[in-house]
């Protein structure tokens, strides 16, 4: 295991600023996910860590020692590319063994056999990549990256080409394997659900910068920027103005006739009259009766989205659109389009985002 640290790293490609002043640490044995839209610099960071690119500014350290002067093969990094990069003329066994080319003296047959068992490919060692399913090719690429026993594992959207069910199953297998090996892992994905499901911490990126780095629970429930709140999850981000501030509680005006209270641990920097954003997660809203007390919003139903185990309601209200996620059996029968609904939510289900 190794600690990987980036210190104020910047990388340009011509006039394009791919990574700007990035600093973060992946701790020993940690599973760290980099998530963000295409072109935000995620893959560039992996290539910098692996040694395929050199930063224009900053440093990259393994256990406190700079590796900028070391070529890729000396860094003991395993990498799985988005397209797996398997050799089509080699069979499974040969592809895995290729990862041992910089490990003289290793019993290749024994090591390949161990890896075939590790990734559940025993019996497929003579097949070529063309004779494998997408999931099997992904496992071969992973086994090849693990063959030389790297100190760091880098994964560049390894599941993006798979169908939804297979992707869900393999991400669980990948997480179990990482925990078993205790290898420091940095995982790139544009899939927010994937990042939240398998990582110890998540770094949310935008235009070459890290917007927020924290646990999956932190970035989902307590985003620090408007970008994170919009990118992670299907949140309702409502314009609000601070009316009054109490100990651990804030009164907010959302519309001329709508005032709500939010329980907040972010009172520092707030003042009456200040414009803020209020985050309401769809699953925290509930359809309530007209006599309900507490925070309430009223909207007119525009669309219903059925997802099997859940339903999404889309409502129009004076502040724009509201999205509500409910268990599929909670609202029966489904209301008709145009129905006016009363929504309720608790003060602790709000999160204030400062501008």
**Cβ–Cβ under 8 Å, residues 274 and 242:** yes
Query: Which tokens belong to 192?
Result: 């927010």
Query: Which tokens belong to 174?
Result: 């990948």
Pairwise CA distance, residues 107 & 245, whole Å: 68
Q: Domain spanning 4-230 has what CATH number?
A: 3.40.50.300
Which ranges in the chain are annotated with CATH 3.40.50.300? 4-230
- Please give the mean pLDDT across all residues of the chain: 91
In the predicted model, what is the mean pLDDT of residues 12-26? 96
**pLDDT at residue 255, as a whole number:** 83
Which ranges in the chain are annotated with CATH 2.40.50.140? 234-353
CA dihedral 46, 48, 50, 52 (to 10 degrees): 120
Q: Residue 290 — pLDDT band, cuts 50, 70, 90?
A: low
CATH class of the domain whose range is 234-353: mainly beta
Q: Residue 57 — pLDDT band, cuts 50, 70, 90?
A: very high
Higher pLDDT, 104 or 285: 285
**pLDDT at residue 292, as a whole number:** 63
The position carrying tokens 């394997």 is: 177
* pTM for the structure as a whole: 0.88
Nearest to 212 by CA among 196, 198, 197, 234: 196
In the predicted model, what is the mean pLDDT of residues 326-352? 89
In the predicted model, what is the mean pLDDT of residues 106-133? 90
Q: Are strands 236-246 and 249-255 parallel, antiparallel or unpaired?
A: antiparallel
| E strand or H helix at 316 | strand 310-317
């Amino acid at each position: 295991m190794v600690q990987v640290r980036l210190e104020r790293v910047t990388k340009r490609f011509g006039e394009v600023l791919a990574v700007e002043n990035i600093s973060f640490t992946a701790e020993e044995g940690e599973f760290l996910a980099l998530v963000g839209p295409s072109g935000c610099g995620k893959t560039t960071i992996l290539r910098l860590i692996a040694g395929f690119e050199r930063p224009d500014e900053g440093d990259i350290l393994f256990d406190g020692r700079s590796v900028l002067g070391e070529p890729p093969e000396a860094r003991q990094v395993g990498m799985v590319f988005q397209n797996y990069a398997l050799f089509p003329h080699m069979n499974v066994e040969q592809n895995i063994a290729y990862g041992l080319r910089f490990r003289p003296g290793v019993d290749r047959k024994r090591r390949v056999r161990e890896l075939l068992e590790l990734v559940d490919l025993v019996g497929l060692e003579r097949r070529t990549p063309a004779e494998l399913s997408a999931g099997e090719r992904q496992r071969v690429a992973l086994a090849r990256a693990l063959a030389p026993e790297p100190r760091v594992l880098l994964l560049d959207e390894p599941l993006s080409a798979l169908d939804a069910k297979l992707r869900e199953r393999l991400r669980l297998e990948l997480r179990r394997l990482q925990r078993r090996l205790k290898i420091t892992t940095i995982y790139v994905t544009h899939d927010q659900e994937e990042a939240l499901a398998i990582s110890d911490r998540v770094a949310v990126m935008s235009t070459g910068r890290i917007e927020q780095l924290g646990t999956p629970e932190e970035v989902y429930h307590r985003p620090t920027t408007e970008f994170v709140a919009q990118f992670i999850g299907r949140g309702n981000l409502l314009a609000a103005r601070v009316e009054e501030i109490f100990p651990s509680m804030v009164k907010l005006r959302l519309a001329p006739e709508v005032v709500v209270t939010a329980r907040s641990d972010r009172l520092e920097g707030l003042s009456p009259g200040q414009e803020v954003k209020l985050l309401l997660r769809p699953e925290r809203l509930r359809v309530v009766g007209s006599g309900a007390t507490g925070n309430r919003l009223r909207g007119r139903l525009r669309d219903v989205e059925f997802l099997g185990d859940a339903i999404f309601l889309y409502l129009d209200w004076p502040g724009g659109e509201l999205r509500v996620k409910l268990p599929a059996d909670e609202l029966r029968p489904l209301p008709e389009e145009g129905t006016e609904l009363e929504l309720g939510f608790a003060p602790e289900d709000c999160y204030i985002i400062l501008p």
